[in-house]
Amino acid sequence: MRLLEHESKEILGRYNILIPEGDVVGSAEELKMDGPVMLKAQIPLGGRGKSGGVIGVSSSGEAKDKIEQLLSTPIRGYRARKILVEEEIDIAREFFMAVTYDTVAKEPLVIFSQEGGVDIEDLSATQPEKVQKELFTVRGRLPQYRAREIVSEAGISGRMLLGLGAILSSLADIFLDYDATVVEINPLALTGDGKLIALDCHLEMDDDALYRHKDQAEKLALDNRYEGGRKSTDFERKAAEIDNLDHRGVAGRMIEFDGLIGLIIGGGGASLTAFDAVKQHGGKPANYCEIGGNPSVLKVKELTKHILTKKGVDKIAIIMNVVSNTRVDLVARGIIKGILEAGRVPSETVAVFRVPGAWEEEGFKILSKYGVPYCDRSVSIDEAAKMAVERTP
């Protein structure tokens, strides 16, 4: 889930990170600020300035005209329903700081640069000495003394070092406290009177952790955040509710299609491999749906029942890569229970079950009891997909 700028800045404020004085308006009539201000279209995209989504104005009259313009003009497929109006800041210098997750090291990664407002990837490649990167542990967090060391390595010293270190440490706390995948301040401005103010903020939260942040999750259901982008279908929203039944594993990341083969697939990139293989063999998927991380029997059962409610879906294919963090027997039990509770016959409903890995012998015994066709790891994902297509009318 990507928060809008004003939503992200609200969180920064909770951690005593300064943000510009401002207000969020839905029409020109709601404007209360006067003088030079910045108008920012609230859409879930970066690079708004280059796309005409950020405008500086000098008077309230000009601001009202530009607010109406921003509200009525689509920006890269999105139309803003809210405009953030902020005071114009006297900028003496800009910095960049962010926290993200290193998928190789499996630890949070903090990034700091003495140059803000830049494409950090290009800067890191062309002038790596200007970008500091450091891993830190979730348990140890990023204490201020370590944050100051990172900032110091970028060539910052004196009083500014203390201020930047404190903000960087707080940004790491936000990343962990809000189960973020990335949180970024760019630029962080040093003002003419020596204040450090976050001019823009990008914060994305892990969808699988939204059950811990219901105040943020509720924003997804609001119709007045912005227009555009792909809207979730009722079928997809129901799947998300199933995934939120408990915290164990993933079972409900759903994208709906018009086909007749229900898919329950997973195992990292194997889910895309399985989906593509079904299509290449002439099958028409009814959905794309990932599972993994050892979901509970309850979640797998409810997900199976849900997919079988889709009109025209009489067959489901369960295809995963070799799994070490997901028990095959729990997946098998959930699939069988879901089919039975849907009033179907397991042997006639499962087109193929290809989930090799942990506890697979126990899982295969459950499937055998109900006459469900299954494959071990000697059968490739592609071969399993072909079987599923051949067994679906």
120 pLDDT more than 80: no
Torsion of CA 103, 104, 108, 111, to 10 degrees: -100
207 — alpha (psi -120 to 50), left (phi > 0) or beta? alpha
Rounded to an integer, the average pLDDT of 97-104 is 91
Q: Where are the domains of the chain?
A: 21-87, 91-214, 232-390
Dist. CA 176–CA 164, nearest whole Å: 19
Q: Where are the beta strands (DSSP E) in 234-359?
A: 250-256, 261-266, 287-292, 315-320, 350-354
- The band of 68, judged by pLDDT with boundaries at 50, 70 and 90, is very high
Please choose, from the candidates 303, 334, 287, the residue with its C-alpha nearest in 3D space to the C-alpha of residue 239: 303
53-57, 124-128, 309-313: which range is least confident on average?
124-128
pLDDT bucket at 325, cuts 50 / 70 / 90: confident
Residue 221 has pLDDT above 70, yes or no: yes
pLDDT at residue number 36: 94
Closest to 275 (Cα-Cα) out of 288, 262, 257, 261? 288
Q: What is the pLDDT of residues 171-206, one digit of tens each?
A: 999 999 999 999 999 999 999 999 999 999 999 999
* pLDDT tens profile 279-306: 999 999 999 998 999 999 999 999 999 9
Residue found by looking up tokens 């506890």 in the block: 359
147 CB burial (10 A radius; 0-12, 13-18, 19+): buried
pLDDT of residue 25: 96
Q: Which CATH architecture has domain 91-214?
A: 2-Layer Sandwich (3.30)
For 21-31, how does the pLDDT look when each residue is reduced to its tens digit (9 = 90+)?
Answer: 999 999 999 99
21-87: what CATH class?
alpha beta
Does the domain at 232-390 match CATH 3.40.50.261? Answer given as yes
DSSP 142: -
Instruction: Note whether 282 and 248 are within 8 A (CB).
Output: no
Helix, strand, or coil (residue 376): coil
Top-confidence residue, 278 or 119 = 278
Average pLDDT over residues 22-51: 93
pLDDT value, residue 268: 65
Of 116, 119, 98, the closest CA to residue 184 belongs to 98
